[in-house]
Amino acid sequence: MDNFIQVQGAEMVFDTRKGRFHALCDIHLSVARGEFVTLIGHSGCGKSTLLNLVAGLLVPTSGALLCDNREIAAPGPERAVVFQNHSLLPWLTCFDNVYLAVERVFGGGEPKVKLRLRTEAALELVGMGHAAQKRPHEISGGMKQRVGIARALAMEPKVLLMDEPFGALDALTRAHLQDELLKIVARTRSTVIMVTHDVDEAVLLSDRIVMMTNGPAATIGEVLKVELPRPRSRVELAENSTYVHHRKQVLDFLYTRHGYTEKAAA
């Protein structure tokens, strides 16, 4: 397994009005090129903090992070982020929201015709080509998330970072977008790190599940390799014994060995 993303002894301490808060402790993690990894744990365990470190939105208090053997010290187009809030600009159309990112990354070396083709291709990839000229208030929550994913993919990132991208959606929309994400990742062969609270989502999507201990000073408690072949179908997996076993392993970690406490979330 090549170490495409490396987290080497990362620590994260925040200075707050109440004093120093030790969020993450001694994080060591390697992610292979093309691997789908989910981070799961209770609220306050530092999942989003770890994702933001990989994104370059935060700088670790100590330790180092590498992407393709280059130090991560700031955000970059090779690491695209999809947040739970789609973060679309409401005055722009879906097309223009995606085009903005494409122009930022490729505008210096490509003609506008090529930029438009990139934008159109990204929207088609997530099934949103028909809504290219609509504005965010004219489309559903699930469709907004599709546009957010299209914007990230249009940048042709080496790594797709997703912070609970389906967390605010209803169950049916969430399931549909999970299935679409499986297809998109299979086509693009993207390297993905995704934060989730959803055990079924983690088992369905992941190659490995990184389970975090409770904070403060949270760390990686266990890493589970998901032994399920791809492509995956949620209907076929519902009664699959390996799927059920993996699901039980994650639940056991979260609710038996590292049960949620108010103190941990404080």
> pTM of the full predicted structure?
0.90
Q: Are strands 191-196 and 36-40 parallel, antiparallel or unpaired?
A: parallel
Torsion (CA) 211, 216, 217, 219 in degrees, nearest 10? 0
Least Cα distance to 40 among 226, 219, 198 occurs for 198
One-letter amino acid identity for 84?
A: Q
For residue 198, the number of C-alpha atoms closer than 13 Å in the C-beta half-sphere is 18
Q: What is the pLDDT of residue 162?
A: 94
H or E segment to which residue 232 belongs: none
The larger pLDDT score, comparing residue 200 to residue 184, is at 200
Lowest model confidence (mean pLDDT) among 60-64, 174-178, 202-206 = 174-178
Q: What's 83-148 look like in SS3? A: CCCCCCCCCCCHHHHHHHHHHHHHCCCCCHHHHHHHHHHHHHHCCCHHHCCCCHHHCCHHHHHHHH
Rounded CA-CA distance 122/34 in Å is 19
Asked if pLDDT for residue 196 goes beyond 90, the answer is yes
Q: Do the beta carbons of residue 207 and residue 35 sit within 8 Å? A: yes
What's the pLDDT at 265?
A: 42
Percent of the chain residues topping a pLDDT of 70: 97
Q: Order across the sheet with 70-71: list the strands.
A: 19-31, 5-16, 62-67, 70-71
Q: Would you state the pLDDT for residue 260?
A: 61
What pLDDT is stored for residue 177 in this prediction?
86
Q: Sketch out the chain's domains with CATH numbers.
A: 32-58+73-78+161-266 (3.40.50.300), 81-156 (no CATH)
If one counts every other C-beta atom within 10 angstroms of the C-beta of residue 204, the result is: 23
Q: Is the pLDDT of residue 98 over 80?
A: yes
- Using the predicted structure, report yes or no on whether residue 97 has a pLDDT greater than 60: yes
- Measure the CA–CA gap between 189 and 171, rounded to whole angstroms: 26
**In terms of DSSP bridges, do strands 19-31 and 36-40 run parallel, antiparallel, or are they unpaired?**
unpaired
The reported pLDDT for the residue numbered 92 is 96
Report whether pLDDT(264) > 50. no
Q: Can you tell me the distance from the alpha carbon of 153 to that of 49, in angstroms, rounded to the nearest whole number?
A: 22
Q: What is the pLDDT of residues 235-257, one digit of tens each?
A: 999 889 999 999 999 999 998 87
Query: Residue 46, Cα to own-chain centre: how many angstroms?
Result: 14
Mean pLDDT of the chain: 91
Share of the chain above pLDDT 90, in %: 70
At residue 151, φ and ψ (nearest 5 deg) are -60, -40
